[in-house]
Amino acid sequence: MNWSAVWTIYTAEMTRFFRTFVQSFISPVISTSLYFVVFGTAIGSRIQEVEGVSYAAFIVPGLIMLSVMTQAISNASFGIYFPKFTGTIYELLSAPINFFEIVLGYVGAAATKALFIGLVILATASFFIDLQIAHPFAMVAFLLLTCLSFALFGFIIGIWAGNFEQLQLIPLLVLTPLIFLGGAFYSITMLPDIWQKLSLFNPVVYLISGFRWSFYGAADVPIGLSLLAIAGFTGACLLIIGWIFKSGYRLKP
């Protein structure tokens, strides 16, 4: 293992993140606060408790998941796409490193950034509501796994993308709807029967439900299924990454 190279990539990526620190830090704080004002106070006051907690508290896990997933994907996909775009990828390919080390550097950095933003949102939320976390270990595990798996997924998108449109395509067209329909802002038990059944095909439902369970002990789907879903997603991403490694897909002519 060339750990020095992994660390070099990781710190270079983190430097870019902290160069825009104010933006990286302030924007999640502002958007979270806005969500609380709009959903927690304005709309939430008209909504009864959901699954035994106030609506404002109910949306916290979903809100964190929403940000963590989109941030992990956009950071990882941009992180590896940018060198392809500028041509500096030549340096990665001609250095004594393998694909796994490249993945570790970029995905590690993207996951760290997403985790950081998730924690910032959690801290912001604690100003608005009285947060309770029923299963802290499970909470951390879910958070870490989500950061990691979505960063892996973002990395795959970044390798695949041939232009900036493609880079945005999947997050915009696939992910955002899945997250919003995944019960970030409601419990799927509030939906009509047919929509409840359809929701079970949405993998994000399992992640948000599991994450919310770690806060409040209540879940839309069994917690075992949630764990299986996140493990399965991580496994699938790793398999695809392994295949890219073997075939040199989109990296080497």
Partner 1 sequence: MAIVEINDLKKIYEGGFQALKGVTLEIGEGEILALLGPNGAGKTTLISVLCGLVSPTGGHARIGGYDIVANYREARQLVGLVPQEIALEPFTKVIDAVRFSRGLFGLKRDDAHIERILKQLSLWDKRNNRTMQLSGGMKRRVLIAKALAHEPRVLFLDEPTAGVDVELRRDMWETVAQLKADGVTIILTTHYIEEAEAIADRIGVINKGALLLVEDKTALMERMSSKELRISLRAPVQSVPEALAGYGLDLADDGETLVYTYDTKGEGTGITALLADLASAGLKLADLKTNQSSLEDIFVGLTTDKAEDAA
Nearest distance from residue 110's CB to partner 1, in Å? 17
Q: Is 48 in the site for partner 1 (CB under 8 A)?
A: no
Q: Which is nearer to partner 1, 19 or 197 (CB)?
A: 19
Please give the residues from 212 up to 251 whose contact with partner 1 meets the rule CB under 8 A: 248
In whole angstroms, what is the distance from residue 43 CA to residue 37 CA? 9
Residue 216: name the closest of 2, 57, 28, 14 by CA: 57
Please give the residues from 61 up to 120 whose contact with partner 1 meets the rule CB under 8 A: 82-83, 86-88, 90-97
Nearest distance from residue 29's CB to partner 1, in Å? 24
Angle CA(124)–CA(128)–CA(131) in degrees, nearest 5? Answer: 80
Nearest distance from residue 177's CB to partner 1, in Å? 33
Q: Is 135 in the site for partner 1 (CB under 8 A)?
A: no
Q: Is 192 in the site for partner 1 (CB under 8 A)?
A: no
- Provide the 3-class DSSP secondary structure of residue 50: strand
Residue 249: name the closest of 28, 35, 99, 26 by CA: 99
Judge contact between 53 and 216, C-beta under 8 A. Answer: yes
Q: How far does CA 96 lie from the centroid of its chain?
A: 31
Which positions touch partner 1 (CB under 8 A)?
2-5, 7-9, 12, 15-16, 19, 82-83, 86-88, 90-97, 248, 252-253
